[in-house]
Copies of this chain bind each other. A is one copy, B any other.
């Protein structure tokens, strides 16, 4: 690896002149000098040593990205968008860390970022406790958090980029209700997180509007302690068993996310129930895998690419201008109809009441307004 010294010598100029061309100050020299320097750079295949540059300026061209597990398809998808955006639009590389939802790992990752001189980080975490985030910000990290709305007291210095979870679940529940379902459930892993509570609120709101009464319920299961990538799917699978065994079971299920929906579908299959004939399932996320499973999963899709672009853009600009105040960025989801939702089965508990019918029309209109897609 050649150094700036080599280039200077090769071009017969001083290192400051080389540094000037490296840093876009070519106007400070004669055309001829510029040419000589550029030729030398090319001939020696010189690339400035970033460690040295960083030591001097305190700036890096790296971003940290913290995910629970990159093996989870949803995080893989988001990570891909983030890395591509960081690289192609901002020339930044991405340092990846799996945290398995473990606080020590998250803290350790922040420490390492700081030690490496990396000051921008995008965090995908569902840990309720934000303490260590605040502390990391206090130590100089510029942080953008995914899918956890700002806490009301705000002013944390953390950007929050998320989807409108309330709307996502409302859309999903409305879709079920629009198909005549009067007994619906929201299936999730237990544990409070902002995104989950909002989805539950949205789900309940739709149910209430449709006058479902206690036809709507929330069911959950704890995840097994150690983080597994199939965590969500496992919960869904177990939940499907619970549902299948229930005496008066719901006919439509909103899953907190696609992975859990996949688990539900597998669990129903285990239990001998056919989706969507016996029970309808709708997910939230919009993974490409959703179109591959049998039956293709109807889901509420998140605008992942835009969210990723926003997250990257936020870290980069706040890194450049520390004055910038952290904000909240909310994105709208979109229904993707496929084949896992069918009209509620006729029968004692099935849909078909006049009110349900009327409401279903209203819902459909609203869905259309929110923007549906077919894939």
Please list the residues of chain A having a beta carbon within 8 angstroms of any beta carbon in chain B: 1, 47-52, 54-55, 60, 62, 65, 69-73, 75-77, 79-80, 83-84, 87, 93-98, 111-112, 114-117, 139-140, 229-230, 233, 237, 262-263, 265-266, 269, 288-289, 291-294, 296
Contacts and interface: CB of A to CB of B under 8 A. Distances in A.
Contact of A72 (B49, B60, B76, B94): B76
Contacts of A54: 51
Contacts of A94: 95-97
A281 to B, nearest CB: 12
Q: How many copies of this kind of chain does the complex include?
A: 2
A93 B97 contact: yes
Given A94-B96, A140-B1, A80 B111 contact: no
Given A50-B115, A288-B229, A289-B262, A96 B83 contact: yes
Nearest to A269: B294
Contacts of A95: 62, 93-96
Contacts of A229: 77, 80, 288
Contacts of A55: 49, 51-52, 55
Contacts of A139: 1
Contacts of A112: 93
Given A51-B55, A70-B83, A262-B292, 12 more contacts: A1-B139, A47-B115, A48-B115, A62-B95, A71-B80, A73-B76, A94-B96, A95-B96, A96-B96, A265-B294, A266-B296, A289-B289
Nearest to A289: B289
Contacts of A1: 114, 139-140
The residue among A69, A70, A139, A294 with the most chain B CB atoms within 10 A of its own CB is A70
Nearest to A100: B84
Contact of A80 (B62, B98, B116, B291): B98
Contacts of A70: 70, 76, 79-80, 83
